[in-house]
């Protein structure tokens, strides 16, 4: 458990990044309801977390977070 808590400083920005991205997508939707492709966003989150732990680099912070909605 001690080793996991040591990684918190690296993982917390990734959590904050995905929450901010969700807020951005939802704010841009009509009526406060948005289609959020969770599989895509969780893939970004996993990639960001691994990237942050390995080389201190993330995807979510480097993209605009405004993806076209797909059905």
Could you tell me which of 51, 50, 57, 45 has the C-alpha nearest to residue 14?
A: 45
* Confidence grade of residue 39 (pLDDT, cut at 50, 70, 90): very high
Is the whole model's pTM more than 0.75, yes or no?
A: no
Judge contact between 54 and 47, C-beta under 8 A: no
Largest alpha-carbon pair distance within the chain?
44
**pLDDT tens digits for range 42-68:** 998 888 888 888 887 666 555 544 444
Could you tell me which of 64, 51, 71 has the C-alpha nearest to residue 24?
A: 64
């Amino acid at each position: 458990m001690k080793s996991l808590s040591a990684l918190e400083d690296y993982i917390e920005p990734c959590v904050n990044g995905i929450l901010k991205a969700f807020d951005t997508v939802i704010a841009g939707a009509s009526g406060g309801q948005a289609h959020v492709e969770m599989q895509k966003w969780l893939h970004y989150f996993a990639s960001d977390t691994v990237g942050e732990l390995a080389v201190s680099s993330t995807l979510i912070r480097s993209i605009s977070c405004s993806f076209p909605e797909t059905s």
